[in-house]
Amino acid sequence: MVTSMQGLIDILNHEDSEGRQNMFVQAILESIAVDNDNRIMRDLLFDVVHRNILLYRELEENLKEIKRLSVTDQLTGIFNRRRFIEVLKYEFSRIGRYGIGFSIIMFDIDHFKNVNDTYGHDIGDFVLKKLSELVQSRLRESDTFARWGGEEFMILMPQSTLETALKLSEAIRQLISNFDFSPVTQVTSSFGVINYSDESKIDFEDIISYVDQALYKAKQTGRNRVVAFEKNDSDIESN
């Protein structure tokens, strides 16, 4: 029998919560002698406990939804900047313990302002959403895909090499370039890529700056291409 509020919480948190909740209700009901004098109290208590369990479930679902919305980009449905930074910090902590490398891909849509100016913001939103769907379809379940802001996107690839990240970037670049985004004539994108390992000696605060510099170099050298970060790129002034 449950004898404390903590006992109730433990039951509600159990994997088989519905069945255990029924056990909790039954335990309380059995604590009241079944006779004609307290049958009304028994029924009232059952109703009160049952309603509180339903309220608890509703609160739990609402909290899950609030959490989901807090890490989701409302337009595209992919993760947002906040969630990407959370995952990046986690990967940094993992590499310190296990020495597992990861890669970051940063890309944006070339001349996206022209899309909005020429076709309107509704079409611009359509391009962002469709592009997000295309990219998501090419990623592993372990990868994190996020909208960094505006027309900029980020991909974090755990346990990956620079070669793997470059191949994926090129595949996505071609996928976007060849896709029909009608009424937009053509959509292209530029990519910066960086790989981080235990020997990289890059601070957490610098890695985003470095991959941004690689993206800047891709745009400066003609756009619609993939560029990997190199050490001498750190001298480039980012846009």
Sort 59 into a burial class: Cβ within 10 Å, 0-12 / 13-18 / 19+: exposed
Q: Say which of 61, 65, 151, 170 is annotated catalytic.
A: 151
Domain-wise residue ranges, the chain: 5-70, 81-235
Q: Please give the pLDDT value at position 7.
A: 45
Q: Please give the pLDDT value at position 48.
A: 72
Distance separating alpha carbons of residues 105 and 212, to the nearest angstrom: 9
Distance separating alpha carbons of residues 148 and 216, to the nearest angstrom: 15
Q: Residue-wise pLDDT tens for the chain (239 aa)?
A: 444 444 444 544 554 444 444 555 555 555 544 444 566 666 666 677 777 777 777 777 767 767 766 789 999 999 999 999 999 999 888 876 766 789 999 999 999 999 999 999 999 999 999 999 999 999 999 999 999 999 999 999 999 999 999 999 999 999 999 999 999 999 999 999 999 986 667 877 899 999 999 999 999 999 999 999 987 655 544 33
Q: Please give the pLDDT value at position 69.
A: 64
Q: Please give the pLDDT value at position 216.
A: 97
15 is catalytic: no
Write the CATH number of the domain with boundaries 81-235.
3.30.70.270
Find the helix or strand (DSSP H, E) in which 104 lies.
strand 102-109
